Amino acid sequence: MSRRKLLAHRLSKRSSAVCVILLAAGVCARGAEVVKVRMDPGVVLGRISEDFIGLGYETSAVAQSNFFSAQNAGMIQLYRNLSPHGLIRIGGNVSDHARYVPDGAPAARTERETTIINRANLSDLAEFAHATGWKVMWGLNLGTGSTEEAVEEAVAVDAALGTNLHSFQIGNEVDGLRRFAKDYAAYHRAFLDYKAAIRAALPAAVFSGPDVIGNWNWITNFVSAEAGDMKLLTQHYYRGGAHDPASTLDKLLKPDVAFDGRLQKLRELCRDKGLFYRINEVNSFYGGGKPNVSDTFASALWALDFMFRLASHGCEGINLETDRNQLGFISYYSPIGRDSTGRGVARPEYYGMLAFSLCGNGDVLQVTQDKTDINLPVYATRNAKRDVWIVIVNKDASRDAILEMPTPKGYAPAGLARLTARSLESKDHVTLAGAEVSGDGKWKPGPLESCAEKDGMVRIKAPHGSAVLAEFSIK
């Protein structure tokens, strides 16, 4: 039985629909602030794409033995928990220091050396993608490679992945590549050379780009030139740097108002050009993440909120970086870590993605709420079955809230479940619906609670450091 079907089965003992409340800490203290919320089902802010959820890897991950493999059952299960149709992004800094050698010995190395991937590596990746149902966005070496090498690699990737190939990207963080010294014209000439050579061998090749750190002029120049020949517009995002003393848990949980402005500009640019955009490399703090911040339960709340912020701004999806970084160690921010045997395991941030997978489907609806000093973003979605979800993320470290809202007209509340951890700083013992994700990647939810309604109103406790999701089903 699938995760979604199992969840629905558990709930059916109480209701024919699903309702999930996720709480990161116990019950609200007395004196919790009441925040009134209203949802407008007539105003749609965005549509959540089928492959919105994604993970991102350095190219060196492909060279690892038994990692992307049809035999890696635990990893396949972790993917399936999140989505039947997600997107894997292969690239990162290492992609500009990687070579394809068909019969060479694979070597997973840092950005300071050369990573080698071979034909067998691509075959393993293809089998893994087929087993998960996810597609792959593949990054080619523009930083230190040649056009001829890129063509050989692109042909091999296309042959291996087939219909599981999403698109190619040419270069990683191209606005920072030394080869071009911040010269956009020089970059675009090289991009066109690569694209033309690849298209000569693969006429149907599809490209996304420009894969920038964030230079707005490069984005607009690229869109002006390539809008008619792009799959997705892509750029990266990190909240800050791992070695910056200001990169604290408090900073991670506070909203990034400046980036909200960038999202709005991206949305308007893409709307005018008939495009879609994706934040295809993202996590908390670049450089491998901040220990005791990026690897804590707070990262689950950040990820859940950030994914909904993107969806609310019309973003096509997200690729959260995971596993080994360009420096050669497994990043603190990785949603999927490894145990002592090297097996993939769910870490705190993974639970934020898992929570999104329950309700991040269909339309994002407009929500208004009373002004409050509590760090309390609220979202709403409506899925294909017309069920409505209300999503509350109390990222405040000390202040509890009680959300009060009218039950949507024609709807009724259903059951409740909890996502718990001992504190925002917790690194383990995270549970969703009373259960952890097991070592083999499976999540089996426990018994769920009821969701009360009185006089057409619901009151939902949202303790500090918590995320709350509630579903309403059509009567």
Domains of the chain, by residue range, sit at: 3-47+363-474, 50-359
User: Which of 285-294, 384-393, 429-438 shows the lowest per-residue confidence on average (mean pLDDT)?
Assistant: 429-438
pLDDT of residue 440: 93
SS (H, E, C) the chain: CCHHHHHHHHHCCCCCCCCCCCCCCCCCCCCCEEEEEEEEEEEEEEEECCCCEEEEEEHHHHHCCCCCCCCCHHHHHHHHHHCCCCEEEEECHHHHHEEECCCCCCECCCCCCCEEECHHHHHHHHHHHHHHCCEEEEEECCCCCCHHHHHHHHHHHHHHHHHHEEEEEECCCHHHCHHHCCCHHHHHHHHHHHHHHHHHHCCCCCECEEEECCCHHHHHHHHHHHHHHCCCEEEEEEEEECCCCCCCHHHHHCCCHHHHHHHHHHHHHHHHHCCCEEEEEEEEEECCCCCCCCCCCHHHHHHHHHHHHHHHCCCCCEEEECCECCCCCECCCCCEEECCCCCEEECHHHHHHHHHHHHCCEEEEEEEECCCCCCCCEEEEECCCCCEEEEEEECCCCCCEEEEEECCCCEEECCECCEECCCCCCCCCCEECCECCCCCCCCCCCCCECCCCECCEEEEEECCCEEEEEEEEEC
- Least confident span in 80-84, 344-348, 471-475: 471-475
The 10s digit of each residue's pLDDT in 342-377 is 889 999 999 999 999 989 999 999 999 999 999 999
User: What architecture does CATH give domain 3-47+363-474?
Assistant: Sandwich (2.60)
Check whether 14 has a pLDDT greater than 60: no
323 or 341: which leads in pLDDT? 323
pLDDT at 436 over 70: yes
pTM for the full predicted model: 0.93
What class does CATH assign to 50-359? alpha beta
Reported confidence tier of residue 415, pLDDT bands at 50, 70, 90: low
Q: Which of 25-34, 74-83, 273-282, 312-321 has the lowest mean pLDDT?
A: 25-34
Q: Is the pLDDT of residue 21 over 90?
A: no
Given a cut of 60, whether residue 3 has pLDDT beyond it is: no
pLDDT of residue 30: 59
